[in-house]
Amino acid sequence: MDFAAADFDAEIPQAARNCDNFPMRSTITADLLFTGEELIAEPLLEVEDGRIVALSSQLETELGPHPVHYEGLLAPAMVDVHIHGAEGHDVMEATPEALAAVGGYLATRGVGAYLATTVTAPMDATLRSLAGLAKCMDAASGARLLGIHLEGPFLSHVRRGVHPTEDLQLPSVVAFDKFWQAAEGRIRLMTIAPELAGAAELIAYAAKLGVRASLGHSNATCAEAEAGVRAGAVSATHTYNAMRSFDHRDPGILATVLTSDSLYAELICDGIHVAPEAVRLYWRAKGPERAILVTDAISATGKPDGSYQLGSFAVEVANGRCTANGVLAGSVLTLDTAVRNFCEFTGAASADVLKTVTRNPARMAGLDAGSIRVGGRADFAVFSLQGELKTTLLLS
């Protein structure tokens, strides 16, 4: 994974920094800039009060005094729309301490914004978690918590993965309204199996509230998946995983996910959830406009092997593999590693791959993140020109 042919030896400690480390107005330069759309050589950024107030080239604009220079590539801080926890904490704990640990860890891995992702649980437990997340959201530190991804309970029993079968529910506007009220309207994304009775109605209802629907944990046929798209679904949850297997005479939901030009699609690129050959097929199908890399990371992320929690149940972690009763249960992947893996597996251009962790997830979920533009937030990830994450700058 090379951003350029040049080699840089200087190392910047990998640590999140905030606006306290910078004066109110700062000049930032780098060797290369990725805006979320394009690469710019020798960029010059003016940042004031956590916002980008000017963006130009060092070739066009005279440098002010004491610019802060980063050797390598400056990119938007990454966005993870599917993550359950990190650093020993699950987001469903929904406490300031838990979210500070998760947000702080993500900030060290180049992530500037994320959606706290729930897992299927008893109704009262889910409502408590949603209420807690809503109360903590604006005060969370580190990577910004911009909303909630409701993964469950509207999932297929056949493709539930590790989601507890006794807590699954048929899609229901009444049930969703309970979640919506508890979360104080902070749900941004909802995974749903489109073949279930009531799914199309709920997808359309949620869309009117600004909630994006993602097709997943589904045993849907092509026709059922397409009905979900027509109802308003905009994405697919961890493509290939917890989906009806592809068959050339009965291709099922995967055919819709891979051939629908309008549908975004998540992928867990840890080399465990999806084989490299299937990653290449996914990339050919979705490309840089619709691919989204996610981690599906659990509380074990950033910690040694052992036993950890995902929602209400235990997950065993060994050699990078997370399982509950022998079934894959999330990951310990980080987005910077996902980017490196994806580049290795596909040979795709680095700028195109960076879109999958910046612009694309932000656009899909309607988030103020994932781009470098005048007026935008000054949240950056710094990579070496060989693609290694060097530091995170969260100045907004």
User: Tokens for 314?
Assistant: 């235990």
State how far the Cα of 316 lies from the Cα of 66, in Å rounded to an integer: 50
User: Strand pairing of 144-151 and 187-192?
Assistant: parallel
What are the Cα distances from residue 267, in Å, to 85, 137, 239? 17, 26, 5
Amino acid making up residue 65? P
* DSSP class per residue in 38-63: -EEESEEEEEETTEEEEEEETTTS--
User: Tokens for 94?
Assistant: 């929904």
User: Tokens for 225?
Assistant: 């998946």
State how far the Cα of 190 lies from the Cα of 46, in Å rounded to an integer: 37
Query: Which of these is catalytic: 80, 296, 336, 379?
Result: 296
What DSSP element (H or E) covers 103?
helix 96-108
Three-state secondary structure readout of 195-219: CCCCHHHHHHHHHHCCCEEEECCEC
Across the beta sheet with 306-310, the strand order is 306-310, 313-318, 321-324, 327-328
State how far the Cα of 306 lies from the Cα of 304, in Å rounded to an integer: 6
Q: Specify whether the CB–CB gap between 266 and 257 falls below 8 A.
A: no
State how far the Cα of 266 lies from the Cα of 188, in Å rounded to an integer: 15
Query: Could you count the other beta carbons within 10 Å of the beta carbon of residue 147?
Result: 26
User: Tokens for 63?
Assistant: 């440098």
Q: Specify whether the CB–CB gap between 242 and 266 falls below 8 A.
A: no
Q: Specify whether the CB–CB gap between 45 and 55 falls below 8 A.
A: yes
49 part of the active site:
no
Reduced DSSP (H G I as helix, E B as strand, rest coil) percent helix, strand, coil of the chain, to 5: 30, 30, 40
Q: Specify whether the CB–CB gap between 298 and 322 falls below 8 A.
A: yes
- State the catalytic residues: 296
